[in-house]
Structure 1
Amino acid sequence: MDPNLINNIRQKMQKVPEILKSDLSTIRTGRAAPSLVENIVVTAYGGTAKLKVIELASIATSDPQTILITPFDVSIVGEIRKGIEVANVGLTPVIDGSVIRVSIPPLSQERREELVHLLNQKLEGGRIQVRQIRHEAMQEIKKAETEKNISEDERIALEKEVQKITDETIGIIDSLGERKKEELMQV
């Protein structure tokens, strides 16, 4: 039986909300955020390079509805604009000199509800991952007991600890979801 089992489980479970948080940041809330465009892949320099927008430009928000993209190389302004259009993320980039302005249109109620549905799917995916980690840990604990590496009392204590970590992690996932839902439903 691995003495670091609980620490390993805690580390695995902590990764789930971290990954989920970065995944949720890509869901558009009607507010300008660099994360809406930074990972869009752009074919630059005549098709010789496929790079993310964040690798080609600095990204900032000038107001709650506008993202400003300032390319490091002014010659690829058009390619970045085209890349954002081709990504089909519902954003319309406009070239303004050497800068690209992306206005974030307000979300319709129907679109907000679609995004909440998508959010719920992502949250459930995170919960499933956590439960899978718990399931694997419980199997490992039971296996250790059948191999006489731990006693029944130790098994019960370990199972309770694993369940406690699981509940804490799912609580974190739920609070991430609630915050994102509030952002989405805010008009």
Structure 2
Amino acid sequence: MSIEDIKKSAEEKMAKSIEVFKADLQKIRTGRAHPGILDQVLVDYYGSMLPISQVANVTLLDARTLSVQPWEKGMGGKIERAIRESELGLNPSSQGELLRVPMPALTEERRRDLTKVVKHAGEEAKIAVRNLRREANDHAKKLLKDKTITEDEERRSLDEVQKLTDRTIAEIDRMVSVKEGEIMAV
């Protein structure tokens, strides 16, 4: 494994960490409705558990209401039950085959709790990135120990991995502040 391989691997893994963190942030509910919030809700579809987006059309009716239109008749009840039993705290109402899912307004206390959840998720993502940095640095030190690279190359590698880590952590911090702004906006 060369220094370039180490850097490339660390960069790919850190980008993956950002993607996972982005997906985690989408699961955290803000006061506004967005179709992606139901992505984590699974529905029993003939014995297999599928996300709602694979059995129904999820659209935005207005800023606080989602519309769920099942593709098959008879799936409405299962979808409604799945949304109700999810940990999102949503209460869908049925209008024939169409489900309306109103987003309840968040209280000030709930908003503060959600910002704590966002900060915690951000810290978890930063820890993952720092672990990736440590892993990359260990690889570089092993190459130095095996005498495949010089001390200068090792130092350069450590510096570049640190710069990559700093950029990734700055991106995570930016995403956390944007999400906090969305949550606290009334």
TM-score, length-scaled by structure 1: 0.95
Give distance in 2, aligned partners of 1:185 and 1:176.
Answer: 14
Q: Indicate the residue corresponding to 1:155 in structure 2.
A: 154
Q: Secondary structure at the match of 1:166?
A: helix
| Residue 74 of structure 1, CA deviation | 2.2
Q: Aligned with 1:150: secondary structure? A: coil
> Matches of residues 55-70 of structure 1 in structure 2 within 5 Å?
55-70=54-69
Report the counterpart of residue 10 of structure 1 in structure 2: 11
Deviations 1:80-118 (A, max 9, x none): 101111113110100012100000011001101111111
CA distance in 2, matches of 1:32, 1:128: 30
1:67 CA displacement: 0.4
Paired position in structure 2 for 1:19: 20
Q: Which residue of 1 aligns with 2:132?
A: 133
Calculate the TM-score normalised by the size of structure 2: 0.96
User: Is the partner of 1:92 in helix, strand or coil?
Assistant: coil
Q: CA deviation at 1:59?
A: 0.3
Q: Which amino acid aligns with 1:43?
A: D
Mapped to 1, the partners of 2:13 and 2:45 lie a distance apart of: 37
Report deviation, 1:49.
3.4
Q: Which amino acid in 2 is paired with 1:122?
A: A
- Structure 1: stretches of 5+ with no match in the other structure: none
Identical columns (%): 35
CA distance in 2: counterparts of 1:144 and 1:182, whole angstroms: 44
Q: Assess if the C-alpha contact under 8 Å between 1:60 and 1:67 holds in 2.
A: yes
In the TM superposition, 1:90-129 aligns within 5 A as 90-129=89-128
Task: Write the distance in 2 (CA, Å) between the matches of 1:6 and 1:49.
Answer: 40
Return the offset for 1:37.
1.2
Instruction: Tell me if structure 2 keeps the 8 A contact 1:44–1:80.
Output: no
What do residues 37-80 of structure 1 show as CA deviations (whole Å, max 9, x unaligned)? 122012245xx332221111010111110000000012111111
Deviates more, 1:158-167 or 1:30-39: 30-39
Alignment of 1:84 onto 2:83: yes
In structure 2, do the counterparts of structure 1 residues 150 and 109 end up closer, same or farther at CA, with 3 Å as the change threshold?
same
- For residues 181 and 87 of structure 2, the distance between their equivalents in structure 1, rounded to whole angstroms, comes to 25
RMSD: 1.1
Partners of 1:177 and 1:156 in 2: how far apart?
A: 31
Q: Tell me the amino acid that sits aligned with residue 152 of structure 2.
A: D
What are the ranges of 5 or more consecutive residues in structure 2 without an aligned counterpart? none
| Amino acid corresponding to residue 128 of structure 2 in structure 1 | Q
Asked if the contact 2:6/2:139 (under 8 Å) is kept, the reply is: no
Distance of 1:177 and 1:120 partners within structure 2: 7
Name the count of aligned residue pairs: 185
What is the SS of the residue equivalent to 2:92?
A: strand
**Equivalence for 2:33:** 32
1:170-181 correspondence to structure 2 within 5 Å: 170-181=169-180
